[in-house]
Homo-oligomer: A and B are copies of this chain.
Amino acid sequence: MKKWLLILFVILIYNSVSAEDGYRLWLRYNTIDNPALLQQYRQQITSINCPVDDGKLVAANQELQTGLSGLLGKKVPAQPAIINGAVLLGLPERSPVIRKLVADSALAHLGDEGFIIRTVMYEGKNITLITANKEAGILYGVFHFLRLMQTQQPIRQLSITSAPKIKIRLLNHWDNLNRTVERGYAGSSIWDWQRLPGYIDQRYIDYARANASIGINGTVLTNVNANAIILTDEWLQKIAALANAFRPYNIKVYLTARFSAPVEIGKLKTADPLNEEVRKWWKDKTDEIYKYIPDFGGFLVKANSEGQPGPQNYNRTHADGANMLADAVAPHGGIIMWRAFVYSNETPEDRFKQAYNDFKPLDGQFRKNVLVQVKNGPIDFQPREPFHPLFGAMPQTPLMMEYQLTQEYLGFATHLVYMAPLFKEVLDADTHAKNNSTVAQIVDGTTDGHTLSGMAGVSNIGSDINWTGHPFGQANWYTLGRLAWDNTLTSAQIANEWLRQTFTNKSAFVDTVQKLMLASREIMVNYMTPLGLHHIMGYGHHYGPAPWYNKAPRADWNPVYFHKADSIGIGFNRTATGSNALAQYQPAVRQQFEELATCPEAFLLWFHHVPWDYKMHSGKTLWETLCDKYYSGVDSVRWIQRSWNGMKNYIDAERFSEVKQLLAIQEQEAVWWRNACLLYFQTFSNKPIPARYEKPDHTLAYYEGLEFPYAPH
């Protein structure tokens, strides 16, 4: 026996070099490496008791088995009898034991997706129960329970009740039908359209598991720059196959609707949303979709924006367009997410203001099953933006938050930037629209009593083995889900639990890396766009700095439009003496931003054209402060590098080396941003970079001459 054990043991050692290639994300379920805790967990958890059901608990049951077996390092058996240490899964309506143990009142506020986890004594046995009103809640409860163990939390006396703050929690994939991904930096699309519907890649299942584990309950599969072909029969079969794969994980599929589809694939002469034929076409098309996918989620629409067709082509409003689609999906319980990211080709108006100008007047005109999906800020996913002025301005309309996980403006998949602080900064902002009207409260429906609410993240997922290209890109996907479930979580909490699950529970590692994650976004702002600068990146591909660029076919695609540097100063005057975009905010917000003295430095150049010699609160001039910020950004990247180098012994060699290499690139590119921007702005300020700083190693002409015709875009 001992010899047999030994042989098996050595076999296992050498077959268990399971590569830490990042594929497993935060669902690694490695056996607890703290022997005392392992012992304790094993005493607490001995078996799984899951009633025979109609198949809707299979995913939860299976995940629990996989997770517990991994974490406890032994098979945790399914047990029809409730024994000491059982984990009991089930709906009250199907489990008399749970009915007895959980009061109706406790279930009343869980909704369809919330759950209860409790440690209870039952007939002298210590058991853990996970219950909910619907199977989806149990699935989320299982993932929560596994998370507690993966992060090595106490589980002896649990009494947890949790329900999502937000109803629609989505990824938005900007994936095209040719398997490219717009603004994707992690390989090609994971949707292998060519082999769908026949081939269900294991990746689809693992995608669904990962999403379910963080509460994401839907996915928009296709690019907002939409293609009508996706709505044809052949493609709907592919979509249905994905929907089938995701359904056990409570994930609905949604599609983007190309507004001109009735013309392009329906052979109609118009796509006018008030035309009866058009309305019928969409109704029929929608009925067809629901035949394939009975729980189809609905449509996301980008209309009359950046060349996409929309209702304005027919002199109709966004509400007309959204309502037509809303009427088509309403009988099936579907929703429409209508994007507010619009700006007109013709209007010379400050781009900041255009979404508000277009949408605010439509408040109250949308159907009940329409959400208006608003980007976190008024321009376009910059490293820092003030909150979008539509938040708080459309009380009768549920506003859905749109974040961008893919790092279009944040260093592609090469820079380490943890986005939770960016997301939270916006959520925590007070719109002053009413009492209790932070952006978080607007979005989750608290402020205006909406029951429909939503939050979406533009996906950073691709075919790279580790899903997101940068190992830390996974943290942003993770954050989106966790914040959509509970917008009161702090950035630190989310980073902490992600690190523990994804890398290790060793505190020397977690403490250090959590610190650098939390600092990373501000560091990026400093080396890219400090003090409220925005949209000064390379044209088209958006790679690297190009504040000098002014050759775009429209003014508001040019960096010079946004920074407005001249011999006097720099920044976009959006006060009453300028574009007056600030008038779109509530007076309290407006006042704070409008006064130079009270405007936070972080937003200074968003709202003011500020003289180079302007004295900041510190007493230094604007120019000096700009230099300080850029240099500090680069220095901080070097600090991250040093911190990371100290982590070598705590984690696997593969991911350690990946991050180390990527940080080296980030440092080079931070230097590039700093040098290019300061040399360029210096041509206006005519002031020296302080002598204490390292000199730029190239000339401005060198930076201006760089071209990247094949940068991903």
Which residues of A are at the interface with B, using a C-beta cutoff of 8 A? Answer: 2, 5-19, 21, 23, 29-31, 35, 69-70, 72-74, 177-180, 185, 187-188, 192-195, 198-200, 202-203, 229, 412-414, 462-465, 469, 654, 657-658, 661-662, 664-665, 668, 709-712
Contacts and interface: CB of A to CB of B under 8 A. Distances in A.
A461 B73 CA distance: 36
Copies of chain A in the complex: 2
Contact of A15 (B30, B178, B413): B30
Contact of A14 (B69, B178, B662): B69
B14 A177 contact: no
Given A15-B70, A178-B710, A199-B414, A187 B188 contact: yes
Contact of A74 (B10, B19, B412): B10
Given A13-B73, A17-B70, A194-B414, 14 more contacts: A2-B5, A10-B31, A14-B31, A16-B16, A16-B18, A177-B710, A178-B712, A179-B188, A179-B712, A180-B180, A198-B662, A203-B465, A229-B709, A463-B463
A6 B5 contact: yes
Given A21-B202, A195-B414, A198-B665, A31 B11 contact: yes
Contacts of A13: 12, 73-74
A463 B187 contact: yes
Given A9-B8, A10-B74, A180-B180, A465 B18 contact: no
Contact of A199 (B5, B73, B199, B665): B665
A98 to B, nearest CB: 29
A690 B193 CA distance: 36
B14 A661 contact: no
B73 A194 contact: no
A187 B187 contact: yes
A710 B15 contact: no
A380 B428 CA distance: 62
A13 B73 CA distance: 7
A575 to B, nearest CB: 40
A7 B9 CA distance: 10
Contacts of A229: 709-710
Given A12-B9, A14-B73, A18-B18, A654 B710 contact: no
A309 to B, nearest CB: 19
Contacts of A710: 177-178, 193-194, 229
Nearest to A68: B14
A70 B178 CA distance: 40
29 contacts: A2-B5, A5-B6, A7-B73, A8-B9, A10-B73, A12-B12, A14-B69, A14-B70, A14-B72, A14-B74, A15-B16, A16-B18, A19-B23, A21-B23, A21-B202, A23-B465, A177-B709, A187-B187, A187-B463, A188-B462, A194-B712, A198-B661, A198-B665, A198-B668, A199-B661, A200-B661, A202-B654, A202-B657, A229-B710
A180 B177 CA distance: 14
Contacts of A178: 710, 712
The 4 closest A-B pairs by CB, nearest first: A16-B16, A12-B12, A198-B665, A188-B188
A305 to B, nearest CB: 24
Contacts of A187: 179, 187-188, 192, 463
Nearest to A35: B7
A711 B194 contact: yes
Nearest to A178: B710
Contacts of A661: 198-200
B15 A198 contact: no
A712 B18 CA distance: 33
Contact of A5 (B9, B200, B462): B9
A684 to B, nearest CB: 29
Contacts of A69: 14
Nearest to A227: B710
A185 B180 contact: no
A195 B6 CA distance: 45
Contacts of A193: 710
B202 A658 contact: yes
Nearest to A4: B35
A200 to B, nearest CB: 7
Contacts of A177: 709-710
A17 B29 CA distance: 11
Contacts of A23: 19, 21, 465
Contacts of A5: 2, 5-6, 9
A417 to B, nearest CB: 16
A180 B178 CA distance: 10
Contact of A412 (B14, B30, B194, B413): B194
A538 to B, nearest CB: 13
A664 B2 contact: no
Contacts of A203: 465
Nearest to A711: B194
A185 B11 CA distance: 36
Contacts of A198: 661-662, 664-665, 668
Nearest to A707: B234
Nearest to A176: B710
A180 B184 CA distance: 13
A61 B179 CA distance: 40
Nearest to A190: B187
Contacts of A654: 202
Contacts of A35: 7
Contacts of A414: 194-195, 199
Nearest to A414: B195
A379 B710 CA distance: 32
Contacts of A30: 15
Contacts of A18: 15-19
Nearest to A199: B661
A26 to B, nearest CB: 16
Contacts of A463: 187-188, 463-464
Contacts of A7: 35, 73
Tell which of A10, A74, A668 has the most Cβ of chain B within 10 Å.
A10
A416 to B, nearest CB: 13
A200 B9 CA distance: 34
Contacts of A412: 194
Contacts of A195: 413-414, 469, 662, 665
Contacts of A70: 14-15, 17
Tell which of A18, A21, A35, A194 has the most Cβ of chain B within 10 Å.
A194
Nearest to A198: B665
B15 A199 contact: no
Nearest to A187: B463
A665 B199 CA distance: 8
Nearest to A12: B12
